[in-house]
Chain A
């Protein structure tokens, strides 16, 4: 907090010497110190002019130079999360002073990145263009009242009044030393794109913004002739405060290409918000090009209504309207996939999905199913195959429609999003338990209670096939198969028609292996003959379903804590009781039968209402299998800047593939040793519950679901390597070695 005594006196002496040299020309009335901190003044302000004499009617520059103690800073015009913008009020009779010019600001963060502010440390000259009136004579009095907040950890207000005289003469005489200071500051002030010979365009993914909802888009910078300065440094974009916009940030995608993420404030602003801020292209070595960006954004609406009529945009203040800055219509994100390829990937991904751990119970059920089917005639087999496929494709389309509806409402979703909702997981759990009890023979599907177990008649066999198709989809969603992730990522970023097509392809792929087995006559004959063993196999599969239910109970624990788990288990017991009562009803006759059915329904409705109240705030924090830190963009940036390779594990509790990779690969001794050896910063982005930041990251890499693994080389932070969905130890080790610069083989 406080300077050491010894160095403090040294600093004061040095300061006195320096100011004697640098401020020789500045009258004492134009210099003031402020922000007293136990006898230390933390800021010194001086009123500077770039002329020692001015001719009436001529222009000159006037400004306030701030010098801060080491570690202390003052604030930009948008201070950010805290602080207070620096204010200079002019009192200059006979002189008109223009807008204050602000050099590109630094960004300051607390160690956890929670509070982000913008401002200046060490030294800054805030200045304005001024013009002496034609009638000026004698001498002009220039005064500036400065109000600044000076912060290190604690903050101290500084209020200073600076005054100096400027002689009027026949010629304007420039002051060389001051002019150099003004020129240096002016070089750091963001220019309009027009002045810099660049065009800035903004494309939003939405027609209009919805209050309180996130939005995305892209910003592109193109050069009219020559080149857009390559690369950016951290904190290259600082947004101004914009009524109606809660927050806005850019991510650098490629030279001159930026992803825009923002969130609208909860209230409708008085006028249409604009995209306003400063953007600094280039690097310290290659030189900077700072731009002042001011483009129309879109109207903010309180509720979903039709697209707005484009309004005439108000003239931009300060810098004049950015000449040819064009606003493109909403565009579909550029993707390296063609639709045909995406459909193929979806189909193959769907087929591979059958081999994923989450689909196992259903696959087992199907295996049992076609031992039964194999004995039936081909026509029936075809009906079953169609029913199963129909069940799968139908539920895929339902899922697609839900995705579209939710997306239309402005919420970003991804593959497996429904598992982020405890009630949905509870429902799936109940279905699994009911299914298992059905396999145990507690009750039968269909109202015909006289049907004997094992002797299945065709009609409810078909219904069962449809149900199995639905169940396959429900259980498959938390898994992202290779190829499928890419296809679904493509679908989620595309139009409604594409979403439907891709999801259909996915469903057909999921149904394919079963259909092939059934439709190819030679194959089905190789299956064992049905018999008494089938009844036992069926019961055994019931236990597989219960195992899946246990996993889902654990997922609910992650979403809603121990209480949530207990509530769910209580509900499952009620489901079992209901199923048992229903089974009794099926065996009973007449009135007693309906009494039992009513009882079963009453039990379900009663306990469901009481038990299924999940409280997300009680969620259990999980201990990861790998020593990891929660993912956070600021922390990742910090690690990269410290030269650490970064590994990010995008995961979720309900994603079995993720858990499988974590247990079998990421927590292996040799893999962890590799992480340790290369000093890898390991981050876990947990998508168990909805998280817009993580959804956006997935989307940025063309994915819509987890798992996703990113490996980032600190010397190429904007080119992360995306690993496949199924990991092997070698693959991870090699990727980490590449990211540490030990392997030259490019991917």
Chain B
């Protein structure tokens, strides 16, 4: 829509081509840029992963929903199913009271490989509108946000049938050049404990 508006406003003056301008995290638009340090102090920016699919996972080790998924190794298993050359997984902790040491200890205890980015100020969390832990986002090779929502369709973790993993569904669709079946779902979990 924005481009239509711009184009219309501009054809009256210039008739120039229009670049898209990112404002907020919205599916179908450019995902907000960020640069954050991980638990080991290494910097990661969204920009550096252009050309790959990026999965963002808002996390908080103190949240029962996160604990349930880490007990079931949901996140690691999901990542294992992807081509490591094409998909990057970044956990982000926007908990105000979190420290890199806490993240490092938790990473060691759970034995997963991806970085835990430190966002104690909550800036990136707010830019993405992350509300719950877990809250999942999938960004495509061009930096466009393609999915925002829950990890799966089983909030209580006791559904009789196997849960549908929305992140897996989205990534598989994107890698296969197909349409994303559901680009938003209702996220579930604890609220993100932002700095107040």
Residues of A with Cβ closer than 8 Å to B?
79, 81-84, 87, 110-112, 114-115, 117, 147, 149, 151, 153-157, 212-213, 241, 246, 265-267, 395, 398, 402, 405-406, 409-411, 413, 417-418, 421-424, 427-428, 431, 474, 608, 612-617, 689-690
Contact = CB atoms under 8 A, between A and B. Distances in A.
Which residue of A111, A406, A423 has the most chain B CB atoms within 10 A of its CB atom?
A423
A212 B194 contact: no
Contacts of B189: 82, 84
B21 A431 contact: no
A110 B191 CA distance: 9
Contacts of B27: 212, 266
Contacts of B12: 395, 398, 402
Contact of A84 (B1, B188, B193): B188
A167 to B, nearest CB: 33
Contact of A424 (B10, B23, B156): B10
B6 A617 contact: no
Contacts of A395: 12
B111 interface: no
A424 B9 contact: yes
Contact of B5 (A406, A431, A613): A406
A282 to B, nearest CB: 30
Contact of A110 (B16, B18, B196): B196
Given A398-B12, A423-B18, A213 B1 contact: yes
A114 B194 contact: yes
A84 B13 contact: no
A375 to B, nearest CB: 33
Given A406-B8, A418-B9, A617-B22, A266 B1 contact: no
Nearest to B186: A241
Contacts of B32: 617
A195 B184 CA distance: 36
B4 A84 contact: no
B2 interface: yes
A689 B23 contact: yes
B8 A402 contact: yes
Contacts of B19: 613-614
A277 to B, nearest CB: 15
Given A402-B12, A617-B33, A117 B1 contact: no
A156 B9 contact: no
A405 B10 contact: no
Contacts of A153: 193
Given A147-B156, A265-B184, A212 B26 contact: yes
Contacts of B183: 266-267
B155 interface: yes
Given A157-B64, A423-B6, A151 B196 contact: no
A276 to B, nearest CB: 14
B16 A423 contact: yes
Given A84-B156, A112-B194, 16 more contacts: A81-B131, A81-B132, A87-B156, A114-B126, A155-B190, A156-B64, A406-B1, A409-B5, A417-B5, A423-B10, A423-B14, A423-B18, A428-B13, A474-B13, A613-B19, A689-B23
A111 B1 CA distance: 33
Contacts of A406: 1, 4-5, 8
Interface string B21-39: 1110011100011000000
Interface of B: 1-2, 4-6, 8-10, 12-14, 16, 18-19, 21-23, 26-28, 32-33, 62-65, 126, 131-132, 155-156, 158, 182-184, 186-194, 196
B182 to A, nearest CB: 6
Task: Return the 3 tightest CB-CB contacts between A and B, nearest first.
Answer: A82-B191, A81-B131, A427-B13
24 contacts: A81-B131, A82-B189, A110-B196, A115-B131, A115-B194, A149-B64, A151-B190, A155-B191, A156-B64, A212-B28, A213-B1, A265-B184, A266-B26, A266-B28, A266-B183, A267-B183, A410-B1, A418-B9, A421-B6, A424-B9, A431-B13, A613-B19, A616-B21, A616-B23
A443 to B, nearest CB: 19
Contacts of B194: 110, 112, 114-115
Contact of A411 (B5, B16, B18): B5
Nearest to A689: B23
Contacts of A614: 19, 21
Contacts of B5: 402, 406, 409, 411, 413, 417, 421
Contacts of A84: 65, 155-156, 188-189
Contact of B62 (A154, A612, A690): A154
Contacts of A398: 12
Nearest to B127: A617
Given A405-B4, A411-B2, A115 B23 contact: no
A382 B189 CA distance: 72
Contacts of A213: 1
B190 A616 contact: no
Contacts of A615: 21
Contacts of B131: 81-82, 114-115
Nearest to A424: B9
A427 B15 CA distance: 10
Which residue of A156, A267, A474, A689 has the most chain B CB atoms within 10 A of its CB atom?
A267
Contacts of A410: 1
Nearest to B14: A427
Contacts of A422: 21
Nearest to B125: A114
A355 B33 CA distance: 43
A402 B9 contact: yes
A679 to B, nearest CB: 23
A154 B16 contact: no
A83 B64 contact: no
A154 B190 CA distance: 8
Given A81-B191, A115-B131, A614-B21, A409 B156 contact: no
Contacts of A417: 5
Contacts of A114: 126, 131, 194
B165 to A, nearest CB: 18
Contact of A82 (B2, B10, B33, B132): B132
Nearest to A413: B5
B191 A117 contact: yes
A608 B18 CA distance: 12
A584 B156 CA distance: 76
A82 B190 contact: yes
B28 A608 contact: no
A212 B193 CA distance: 28
A423 B14 CA distance: 9
A399 to B, nearest CB: 8
Contacts of B158: 147
Nearest to B62: A154
Contact of A155 (B21, B23, B63, B156): B63
A212 B126 CA distance: 19
Contacts of B186: 241
Nearest to B156: A147
B183 to A, nearest CB: 5
A398 B8 CA distance: 9
Contacts of B6: 421, 423-424
A156 B67 CA distance: 11
Nearest to A79: B188
B1 A612 contact: no
A308 to B, nearest CB: 20
A427 B10 contact: yes
Nearest to B26: A212
A115 to B, nearest CB: 5
A396 B196 CA distance: 47
Nearest to A85: B155
A115 B27 CA distance: 19
Contacts of B9: 402, 418, 421, 424
Which residue of B21, B62, B132, B194 has the most chain A CB atoms within 10 A of its CB atom?
B21
A110 B32 CA distance: 23
A405 B131 CA distance: 35
A83 B191 contact: yes
Contacts of A608: 16
